Amino acid sequence: MQSDAATTTAPKRVLCIEDEHFISELYTRALTRAGYQVDVQLDGQKGLAVAQTDMYDIILLDLMIPNITGIEVLRTLRDPAKTPKMHAKIIITTNLEQREDIRADIEQQADGYLVKAEITPKELVEFLSHLDI
Amino acid sequence: MGYFQSFIRQFRARLIVIIFVNNALIVADWYIVDRVVKLTGLWSLIVITAIPLITIGVVPWLSTKVLVQPTKFLWQAILHIAPHNTEDMGTPKLDQLHLGRELVTNLINQVYQLASVVQDVEQSNIKTKLDLHTNFVASSLPLPLLVLDKEENIIYANEATGKYLGKPADELTGQSVYTALDMSFLSDDTLSSWIKASQGKSATAEHKWERVRIGLPGQGDSLLFDLAGYYNQDNPLGYETLLVLFDHTEEYAQDDQAMSFVALSVHELRTPLTLLRGYIEVFDEELGPTLNPELKEFMKKMNASAQQLASFVDNILNVAKIEDNQLTLQLHEEDWKKLVENVVEDLNLRAGVRGITIKTDIADDLPTVGVDRYSIYEVLANLLDNAIKYSKGTNEIYVTTNINKDGLVETSVKDFGLGIDGSILPHIFDKFYRNHRNRAQIGGTGLGLYLSRSIVDAHGGQISVNSKVNEGSTFTFTVLPFTKIAEAGKTGNNPSITRNAHGWIKNHSLYRD
């Protein structure tokens, strides 16, 4: 079960900013098996710093993370004054229902939005394989 | 002075005539008695005395009528305009006046002028008093009070209104009430529909609304008010509509907290649910081939149960969102066939573990539809989930889609199971409604159909049910072809159209019929 996108060239790199250890473990397992190279960050602040290095093709961003909210991470990454333009696609992964105003922000700035309880790891891999990277 | 002088002359002339005639009568009387009839003695004395006596009776009587006439006309004129007079003297008829007509006409005009000045002063006094009164009462009223004119523009807002909206009250004056107050109503019984209805037919009307949500400009927050309106078509000051608002935000928030608590708790289920579904998938994929058929079947059932739990959690959270006015639809152009097949595929697992097959019959010539794919997914998933739950031993469910006679895309979900009793059919789309007969046998929260109806309504479609006990039920709903939606929202070239879910209809919203 290797993804085509991940095997033809160098493996795609995924940053998973997620504080729920069991979830990141499951995602890492599925993504690694599909040929991605996965790094996990449990902390928002550290996750942001790592994301800003622009080493990743895909960033999976949880919204409830320690120290700084996922929304703030998203806004910082998409703010030209704070982060130089990076090539990574940002996918919000959350189990939290969003207030309308926040949802509008997400729709404008993120490249995808997934409710974790509604997808299995395999469906996540399937979703990412359709991303244009 | 000229009128007065000529009046004196006329008066004098008439007096002279009267006195002359009187004296002439007496002289003539004496002459006739003494020289013509030649009466003597007691008879002459009687007749000579009688004539003056008669003139004493008649002449003053006749002359008074003439001499007093001007005074009488003046008296009439004054009484006519006197404010507290109840005696009706009639209006003076100046053309019947001969003595001093100019003077009296002039005097009467003066009287009328004076009277009108007095009236003006009085009226302006009343107005000042009225203004002072309204201002005093309205500004000390702690409740927001608004006065609207015929165009539904604000002509007065008291200080309390300004305080709630966070801006000076006089800034609101002149604005349309719908611009100033971002109001959402529980149903299509809105302020504008009420005013419109009242303008058509009644002179005065009263109305009350509960749970009107008023958004605060520039802030994400909103307050919940009860709203009372009084309409008076013929208000002399142009105050056509009066609105008073009662802030019930806290009371209503407490009601809502019950739902929020459920939503919050349910929320906590999502993380373990995510994990369960992840582990089940891993086990299914990696252990599946090694398992015996019975265990394989268990694995499937476990997966189906986890899926069902996930959709249950979604339902609860979506209802909470509707209650909180947070469910917003993004209508996009979608391929309906694909969407339906997608839902059926997802539900097949749940149907399969109960031995049920979902059969589809989707017309080929369907137009693209304008839907929020996530919300409409829930509708079809809920209807299918119900059909699976209530199939009771039967093993087929039909999903059919075609274009109905109104040009709408119509989709039906038909099962052959328990069916629904006619007496409860009208209530099954109500919130928390459950068929009590089935409550013990079949689980559920009674939210699925309520949610489905809310979502279909918000799409501009309709949902209905046909059912017979022990023969099964058919749920049918419509969605609009994208071209119709795009027509309704012709505001520009925005590819998507945003709508609020059922329950909160924006006043003067673009999409209301």
Domain ranges (residues) in chain B: 2-114, 142-247, 250-325, 327-513
pLDDT above 80: residue B366 = yes
Chain B residues lying within 8 Å of A28, measured CB to CB? none
**pLDDT band per the 50, 70, 90 thresholds, residue B505:** very low
Sign of torsion, CA B172 B175 B176 B181?
Answer: negative
B contacts of A34 (beta carbons < 8 Å): none
What value does the mean pLDDT of chain B take?
Answer: 81
Q: What is the rounded CA–CA span in Å between residue B147 and residue B381?
A: 48
In the prediction, which pLDDT does A47 show? 92
The mean pLDDT of B252-278, rounded to a whole number, is 77
What pLDDT is stored for residue B330 in this prediction? 76
Residues of chain A whose beta carbon is less than 8 angstroms from a beta carbon of chain B are 20, 22-23, 26-27, 29-30, 95-97, 99-101, 103, 115-118, 120-122
- Predicted local confidence at residue B488, as pLDDT: 63
pLDDT score at B111: 81
Domains in chain A, CATH or no CATH each = 11-127 (3.40.50.2300)
**B265 at A interface, C-beta within 8 A:** no
Superfamily of domain B142-247: PAS domain (3.30.450.20)
Closest by CA position to B48, among listed B19, B68, B71, B28 = B28
Give the pLDDT band of residue B495 (cuts 50, 70, 90): very low
Residue B256 has pLDDT above 80, yes or no: no
At B130, the pLDDT band (50, 70, 90 cuts) reads low
State the Cα–Cα distance between residues B194 and B197, nearest whole angstrom.
5
Least reliable range by pLDDT among A30-39, B108-117, B472-481 = B108-117
User: In this predicted structure, what is the pLDDT of residue B413?
Assistant: 96
Contact B21, B39 (CB under 8 A): no
% pLDDT > 90, chain B? 19
Q: Degrees (nearest 5) of the Cα angle A68, B262, B260?
A: 60
Cβ of residue B267 closer than 8 Å to a chain A Cβ: yes
Tokens of B377: 């997914």
pLDDT score at B492: 41
**C-alpha torsion sign, points A17, A21, A27, A32:** positive
Comparing CA positions, the residue from B153, B149, B152, B156 lying closest to residue B130 is B156
* CA-based max dimension of chain B: 171
pLDDT at B174 over 60: yes
Task: Calculate mean pLDDT across residues B193-216.
Answer: 83
Strands A37-41 and A13-17, bridge-based pairing: parallel
CATH of domain B327-513: 3.30.565.10
Q: Determine the pLDDT at residue B494.
A: 41
Min distance A116 CA to chain B CA atoms (Å): 6
State whether B317 and A97 contact (CB < 8 Å).
Answer: yes
pLDDT (0 to 100) of residue B463: 93
Q: In sequence order, which residues have a C-beta less than 8 Å from that of residue A114 and are 6 or more positions away?
A: A91, A92, A93, A94, A124, A127
Q: Do B220 and A99 touch (CB under 8 A)?
A: yes
Question: Does the distance separating the beta carbons of A100 and B267 come in below 8 Å?
Answer: no
Nearest residue of A to residue B275, measured between CA atoms: A23
Which residue, A116, A121, A112, is CA-closest to A96?
Answer: A116
Give the nearest partner residue to A120 out of B263, B271, B281, using CB atoms: B281
Beta bridge partners of B62: none
Window from A12-21, B358-367, B382-391, B447-456 with minimum mean pLDDT: B447-456
Question: Which chain B residues have a beta carbon less than 8 Å from that of A30?
Answer: 278, 282
**Distance (Å, whole) CA B103 – CA B74:** 10
pLDDT score of B5: 87
Q: Residue B52 pLDDT > 70, yes or no?
A: yes
Q: Tens of pLDDT along chain A (133 residues)? A: 444 554 557 889 999 999 889 999 999 999 999 999 999 999 989 999 999 998 999 999 998 888 788 888 998 898 888 888 888 999 999 887 666 556 667 778 888 888 888 889 999 999 899 887 7
Residue B370 pLDDT more than 80? yes
For residue A60, the model assigns a pLDDT of 95
Instruction: List, for residues B68-83, the tens digit of each pLDDT value.
Output: 888 888 888 888 777 6
Q: How confident is the model at residue B39 (pLDDT cuts 50, 70, 90)?
A: confident
Structure-model confidence comparison of residues B439 and A119, the more confident one: A119
**Token reading at B52:** 């003056």
Helix axes B293-323, B249-268, angle to 10 degrees: 160
- Residues of B whose CB is below 8 A from A95: 267, 270-271, 274
d(CA A9, CA A28): 20
Residues of A in contact with B285 (CB under 8 A): 122
Is B268 near chain A, with CB under 8 Å?
no
Chain A: closest CA distance from residue B268 (Å): 9
CB contact under 8 A, B274 and A100: no
Instruction: List Cβ neighbours of B273 (8 Å cut-off, separation of 6 or more).
Output: A117, B306, B309, B310, B313
Give the pLDDT of residue A82: 83
Residue B372 contacts A, CB cutoff 8 Å: no
Contact predicate B267/A96, CB 8 Å: yes
**Cβ–Cβ below 8 Å for B275 and A120:** no
- CB A26 to CB B313 under 8 A? no
Q: Is the pLDDT confidence value at B305 over 60?
A: yes
User: Which candidate from A23, A99, A121 shows the least CB-CB separation from B326?
Assistant: A99
pLDDT band at residue B502 using 50, 70 and 90 as cut-offs: very low
